[in-house]
Structure 1
Amino acid sequence: MASFPAILRSEWTKIRSVRSTVWTLLLAFVVTAALGALLSLLTKNNFADVRKGATAPFDATATSFSGIVLGEIAIIVFGVLAIGNEYSSGMIRLSLAAVPQRGTLLTGKTVVVGALALGVSLVTAFVTFFLGQALLGEHRTTVGSHDVLRAILGAAVYLTLLCLFSAGVTAMLRNQTLALGVLVPFFFLLSPILSAVPKVKTLAHYFPDYAGRQMLTVYQEPSVPYGWLAGFFICAGWTLLALLGGAMVLKNRDA
């Protein structure tokens, strides 16, 4: 039986040796920071039009994170590739031969994937925030303002949870193409569409992406029936269920 530290080292080697996983993490950083900067600059230059008719306080922190919507795509793809590459190449059989304890193997994968996602997400969140605030000019806020640091950390946690959720779904489906075929429409078609339909938008409020984004805000939106902490638990609950589902499939089905 391989020791858990040895499993972690093995999983780390697998991930960093696959160029596509490295590029997706870099893309998550670049897209989130660049788009957030652009939208912050546009907000500053058109502030009167942006705030016309608004009654809620201006959330400078959430504005700097406006680009996270596209950054999500890259972090989701990373979670899928980190788990799905072994299934597509057939290497999962060798991994299970080396580590027959399937739950331990998936735990090791989850720890490495989660640690990498969290590290990149923390850098992304802080760089995105400071860059966005610099471009917002007189409308900016500071990291020491009320709930701002919590929102920055919330952005990093949100991206990490999305990555792990995607990893869990991929472990259940055991096919990266199928996983992307489910996750991308779910997050970027189904969730936005349901959010815009009055009779069912309440259901969309409890999807992992919608709930998780409440962690990025300093001021709660009036239309959302819960705050950032409930949003965290909802998003974390989806992630836990996906990982447990992945563990059950890995345990009960042949590779």
Structure 2
Amino acid sequence: MDRAQLVLVALPIFLFCRDIFNLFTPRPPKPTQYHYHQIDDPDEPDNIHDLQTQQQQILQEPLKFPVQQKSNGIGETGIGSTINIDFCTTCSYRGNAITMKNMLATSYPGITVVLANHPASFTKRMLSKLVPVVQVGIIGTVLGGEQIFQKLGMVPPPSWYQSLQANRFGSIATTWLLGNFIQSFLQSTGAFEVFCNDELVFSKLKEQRFPSEIELRDLVGKKLGSLRKTRNADVK
């Protein structure tokens, strides 16, 4: 095989090995936030420093949402409670999850909001891992099929192989693009599930829609209110 054929075969193998390696690699720790202090330049006017300081303060301020009023004066509203938002990471739902997390953390002080990927079923996950293997097998057959079929005693090669050889570049490109589409489809779930203390609050899989910020805040507030009443009854 020439260099182009070696590259086409080695690239899918490298990507597949990288996916397998990422499965067993632990997640990196969260980056530490550092605060940088700007050194004043005596040649610059003071109003420029004031403007830059105001811009930095505006950028560093968190998003503000209406805060849920406390029903009693004991502790924080959501202290001791955990909200789990399981969403589909391959569906570009991370922005929605972060917005909901900031809203809930601001509306219910003391609450813990955890974001996590909602995994697909075991069958889909296994099939998604087999897709790169099939891709490599088809591309390898297209590039070196004649030697493969000769060793297997299949002379002449099958008719479907001859059709692939007739348009070698198109066959390789189609296999690569179609395989990536199938793998992404198998890994996506379309989920946006919200749990309050392990109790389901909202399910996109059931409702077939996203919750609004006000709707989700009210649903979580009802769960927290019922939990607070139960705790107060147990104390009494």
TM-score, length-scaled by structure 2: 0.26
Decide which structure has greater strand share: 2
TM-score, length-scaled by structure 1: 0.25
Decide which structure has greater helix share: 1
Q: Which has the larger radius of gyration?
A: 2
